[in-house]
Structure 1
Amino acid sequence: MKTYKRTLLLLVSTVVFGSSAAFAKPPEGAGNSGKQTSPGHAMKQGKQSHYDGGRYFSDRRTSDIRQYYSDTARSGKCPPGLAKKGNGCQPPGQAKQWQRGHRLPDDVRYYDLPHALLHELGRTPEGQKLIRVGTDVLLISTATGVVIDALEDLF
């Protein structure tokens, strides 16, 4: 009988103390007050989310990247994956498969930028990475894979 009472007491105390968190008032400023402004919600509503954290590809960076890839294409040194195609370093009919502010699809093939170019550009912001997809250079979030900024049609 003692075991039954202990079990019942343990069960009741667990329910009482465990459910108190569900009834607690949320901290000030928590939640979104019913305003559906998350990027996922914006995509479901057909709205395009925009990155407003500033432009990464400044005029200097844009010039450095374009210069690097135009020199590479002219010298016949295509980036990895395009070297043996024989089509002027162009990807074979690959349509743009990404959107700014959206996650990069898992099936999109991308390449890291060459070390010489990364050194020329300087450090990327914490938690972000520069990659090349086809003829575009993208700045993506390493945690989520979201395209933050882009430089399109390099060569």
Structure 2
Amino acid sequence: MAAPNGTLNCEDFSMFQEVLKTMRSIDDRIVHSLNTTVPTASFSSRVDASQTCKQLYESLLEAHLSRDRAIKTCIARTSEVVSQLREERAKDSDNMTTLRLLRKEQTKLKLMRSELNVEEVVNDRSLKVFSERCRIHYMPPTVQ
């Protein structure tokens, strides 16, 4: 998740979710985008629907890949933190601060992993709507 300064922000889960929400805006607006860019039969001569659908598909795919990379990067980073905290706990099992931090990071990791499932649902929904509306104008090389 890109923070305002351009770095990835995986530490704060609420910020992680906010950035994901922003990154999902293309999927949230897919129906509107299709309605405003893909012409009905009576207007098809004025707009190149196949080119419009191709560009929209490429934008969707780019957004999906970008979010997938961002989520997986944060999962990897948080997993590293969890591993480090487990090592610290193994050295000093009575340290309550370490135990609390470990539980907090484990919870965050579980929530981040659940975002991968959410991402799959969002992507499937967007590609289904895209396919319904653009299938006569443009067929993607391979629908992923």
Same fold (TM > 0.5): no
TM-score category, normalised to shorter length: under 0.3
* Structure 1 or 2: more strand by fraction: 1
* Structure 1 or 2: more helix by fraction: 2
Greater relative contact order structure (CA < 8 Å, 6+ sep)? 2
Structure having the higher Rg: 1
TM-score (structure 2 length as normaliser): 0.23
